[in-house]
Chain A
Amino acid sequence: MKLLVVEDNIQLLEDMREFLTEGGFRVEMSSSLKEAKDKVFLYQYDLLIVDIGLPDGSGLELIKEVKQKKYDCGILILTAKDAVEDKVAGLNLGADDYMTKPFHKAELNARIKSILRRNKFNGSDILELFDFKINVPASEVFVNDEKIILTKKEYDLLLYFVHNPNRVITKESIAEYLWGDHADQADNFDFIYNHIKNLRKKITSAGGKNYIHAMYGMGYKFSLEEN
């Protein structure tokens, strides 16, 4: 999978490249609108990650061009958190999803994967990891081929873990992913623990192992082994 990240802050760009490369993507970078337009014209990408505020113009222009020329690629926009109008404009132009800066990398990962899945598999995809099989369009989860019934939040949580295996995911990131704007309400993170406890219970009672490991009181890691 090949991604193009368009972002004018070099540090952030480098950081995202490092993270996404680790996740198994091929990552190209561009720090200006012009360079990005050239690259989109020359190469084929599966997904564009576009910052709206670029030094030589608005990222919205790039989206417009991509859609006009009917390039086959997903688009994820990055905006400042309060720029509601950018968000709306981007989605109207045909972007698949948006994220507001600053974001958690795990969430970026989850969103990238879900856009790619939607665009590439056209609704018939099955995610497989460890002992899990997840039929995403039907929201069905199987552990060792045994179906388990999850609540909406537990399902979202599991999907978040499956998209980010073998990585520490912080509680803040989980809270924001699950509750969005109301994440502030999830104070002291007991709620997350509650969901995780229930999820673990359902997985182990279906014959699965404990894949969700608490890490240093800061977050959780979804992996076969604890370290």
Chain B
Amino acid sequence: MKKERRIRLLIKLTFVFIIFAFIAFYSSAVFLTNEADEFINISLEERFGKTERKIYHHILRGDSLEKVSHFGVIKPLADLPDTNNYPVFSDTTIYDEDLDLERVYKKKTTIIEAGGKYYEITILRSIDDFMRLREDIFGSLIPAFILLAVSFVVFSYLLSGYYFRPFNKILELMKTYKVGQGAEVKSVNTSTLEFNKMQDLFHEMIYRIENDYKRLKEYTEHMAHEIQTPLAIIRNKTENLISDNSVMDKHSETVKIIYEETNHLSKLGTTLNLLTKIENNEFNNAVNVFTKPVIEKHISAVSEIVQLKSLSIETELNEKHFLFIDPILLDIIIKNLLNNALNYAANNEPVKIKTGKDEMIFSNSGEVLPLPEEKIFERFQRNGNSRNSLGLGLALVKKICDLNNLRISYQYLNSIHFFIVKDS
């Protein structure tokens, strides 16, 4: 999948806003300049018209041309030139000595007829003021636009933290939400409609999830619990059959299988029940427990089995290592990790248990796993078809670790399996 660039919403909005503002400013600048040009033309036309009429009247009155020369250059014409070529407009700059600057003039050359004679008159008009007006339009719009854009960027940068705080808080709640913690999730106060909508939706979703989860869990709980009594009865009845020679002589194999499978099912039910209880957080008397005595207790419980299996256990236990956990749960963790190590340990190779300052490691040598490493903590992933393994031990350990802020990891190095429990 192509990775798109991710841009923050407010930055995006600011960017779009600036583009729009630019277009608005630019078009109004163009509009205003056009208006100004039109205004300049109209007022120039008016002034030129007035001057032409004054000259006309002076000539009619018979005043000498010198007397009206301050209006412009007036040349009498012998013939009527081609009037199609007139009037002629042009811009020109003239150096003004008094002000020591170049001034811009508009020049109009036209033909007038007065007293039966034709005159070519050329008149000038300074348009400095007009030009300045025109420049002022750009001169004021550009800084205004820049000021607006800069302040917008700065504000959006500064305010994005403030206005998005509720949003980030809601995200944080979503991130930390875990199924099964109950529908009570803190709400974040916000006056922003969108964030409120999102939050409401989030709460509704949690409510639905929690409901479904509760129902599913109840179902599992009931199932696991309710099968226990029928199983106990089946087992007892089977034990009756085992004591009956006339049955056993004919059907010993069948009875044996029924008995074994019933036992298996019964253990499964019990363990699943335990798993649900752990999930329900019913073991919540967490205290700081030193691991050394607990590990030693479990080692002594299995010492006979270890000996009969020709295995050995080597320990390197730190007296100060402890975990913050309910002691019952610690028992389950250690028992299962130990059983797992003993189950899969290669003969004549020691099972090692080591506790350091902040970690507890169970290791045993053995063949490489026949299943993907990441599946090792999943339920019912057992190595081979061992009848004695329920396939729940490591899942149980993982569940307990997850619920008690512990991290369990698995590694396979130099033909040795490592299970490492750490504070997370």
- Residue ranges of A at the interface with B (Cβ–Cβ < 8 Å): 9, 11-12, 15-16, 19, 80-82, 84, 101-105, 153, 167-168, 170, 172, 179-182, 184-188, 190-191, 194, 215-219, 227
Known A182-B302, A216-B252; contact A80-B328, beta-carbon cutoff 8 A: no
Contact partner of A217 among B252, B305, B308, B386, CB < 8 A?
B252
Task: Given A101-B228, A184-B388, output 6 extra A-B contacts at Cβ < 8 Å.
Answer: A81-B274, A82-B273, A179-B305, A182-B302, A191-B305, A218-B255
Q: Could you tell me if A184 and B339 are in contact, using CB atoms closer than 8 angstroms? A: yes
Question: A12 contacts B273, CB within 8 Å?
Answer: no
- CA–CA, A188 to B309, complex, Å? 11
| Chain B residue, CB-CB nearest to A186 | B305
Which 5 interchain pairs have the tightest Cβ spacing? A102-B232, A216-B252, A187-B388, A82-B274, A81-B270
Asked whether, in the complex, the Cβ of A168 is within 8 Å of the Cβ of B242, the reply is yes
* List of A residues within 8 angstroms of B235 by Cβ: 102, 104
Q: Which of A16, A187, A218 contacts B252 (CB 8 A)?
A: A218
A190 to B310, CA, bound (A): 13
B268 to chain A, nearest CB (A): 12
Question: Are B233 and A218 in contact (CB-based, < 8 A)?
Answer: no
A80 touches B225 (CB 8 A): yes
Q: B residues within 8 Å of A by Cβ?
A: 225, 228-229, 231-233, 235-237, 239, 242-243, 245, 248, 252, 255-256, 259-260, 263, 266-267, 270, 273-274, 277, 283, 301-302, 304-305, 308, 328, 335, 339, 342-343, 386-390
Residue from B274, B304, B388 whose CB has the most chain A CB atoms within 10 Å: B304
Among B242, B277, B283, B339, the residue within 8 A (CB) of A215 is B242
> Which residues of A lie under 8 Å from residue B225 when comparing CB positions?
80
Docked pose: A146 CA to B301 CA in angstroms: 31
Report the Cα distance A102→B259, complex, angstroms: 13
Chain A residue nearest in CB terms to B336 = A184
With a cutoff of 8 Å between Cβ atoms, the chain B residues found around residue A103 in the complex are 232
CA–CA, A103 to B302, complex, Å? Answer: 22
Q: A82 vs B277: C-alpha distance in the bound complex, in angstroms?
A: 8
**Is A12 a contact partner of B232 (Cβ separation < 8 A)?**
yes
Please name 18 pairs of A and B residues whose Cβ atoms are closer than 8 Å in the assembled complex, sorted by A: A15-B233, A15-B236, A16-B236, A80-B273, A81-B274, A102-B229, A102-B232, A168-B242, A179-B305, A182-B305, A184-B390, A185-B339, A187-B388, A216-B242, A217-B252, A217-B256, A218-B256, A218-B259
Separation in Å of the B83 CB from the closest CB of chain A? 117
Say whether A12 contacts B335, CB under 8 Å: no
**The residue from B236, B243, B339, B390 contacting A182, defined by CB atoms under 8 A apart:** B339
Cα distance A15–B274 when bound, in Å? 27
Most buried by A among B302, B305, B387: B305
**What A residues does B339 contact at CB under 8 A?**
182, 184-185
Of residues B229, B270, B273, which shows the largest number of chain A Cβ atoms within 10 Å of its Cβ? Answer: B229
Q: Which residues of A contact B236 (CB under 8 A)?
A: 12, 15-16, 19, 105
CB pair A105–B239 under 8 Å, yes or no, is yes
In whole angstroms, how far apart are the Cα atoms of A162 and B252 in the complex?
25
Min CB distance, A109 to chain B, in Å?
Answer: 11
Contact assessment for B239 and A168 in the assembled complex, using a CB-CB cutoff below 8 Å: yes
Q: How far is the CB of A216 from chain B (nearest CB, A)?
A: 4
A79 to B366, CA, bound (A): 39
A172 vs B266: C-alpha distance in the bound complex, in angstroms? 12
Give the Cβ gap from A219 to chain B, nearest Cβ, in Å.
7
B302: A residues at CB distance < 8 A = 182, 185
Contacts of A172 in B (CB 8 A): 259-260, 263
**Contact of A153 with B274 in the complex, beta carbons under 8 Å:** no
In the complex with contacts A103-B232, A194-B308, A217-B256, A15-B237 CB distance below 8 A: yes
Chain B contacts of A218 at CB under 8 A?
A: 242, 252, 255-256, 259
Complex formed: what's the CA distance from A172 to B239 in Å? Answer: 11
A15-B236, A184-B388, A218-B256 known; A84+B328 contact, CB < 8 A: yes
Residues of B close to A19: CB separation below 8 A: 236
Give CA–CA (A101, B267) in the complex, Å. 11
For B328, list chain A residues within 8 Å (CB): 84
- Alpha-carbon gap, A186 to B243, bound state (A): 23
Q: Which of A82, A187, A217 has the most CB of B within 10 A?
A: A82
Q: How far is the CB of A225 from chain B (nearest CB, A)?
A: 12
Which residue of the partner chain, among B228, B255, B301, B389, contacts A80 with CB atoms under 8 Å?
B228
The minimal Cβ–Cβ distance linking B141 to chain A, given in whole angstroms, is 79
B127 → chain A closest CB, angstroms: 100
What residues of chain A lie closer than 8 Å to B343, measured between beta carbons?
185, 187
Of all chain B residues, the one with the shortest Cβ separation from A51 is: B229
Tell me which of B248, B270, B283, B305 contacts A216 (CB under 8 A).
B248
Q: Are A102 and B242 in contact (CB under 8 A)?
A: no
B residues near A11, Cβ cutoff 8 Å: 229, 233
Question: How far does the alpha carbon of A1 sit from the alpha carbon of B390 in the complex, in Å?
Answer: 40
Enumerate chain B residues within 8 angstroms of A179, measured Cβ to Cβ.
Answer: 301, 305
**What's the nearest-Cβ distance from chain A to residue B3, in Å?**
49
- Complex Cα–Cα for A116 and B388 (A): 34
Chain B's nearest CB lies how many Å from the CB of A67? 26
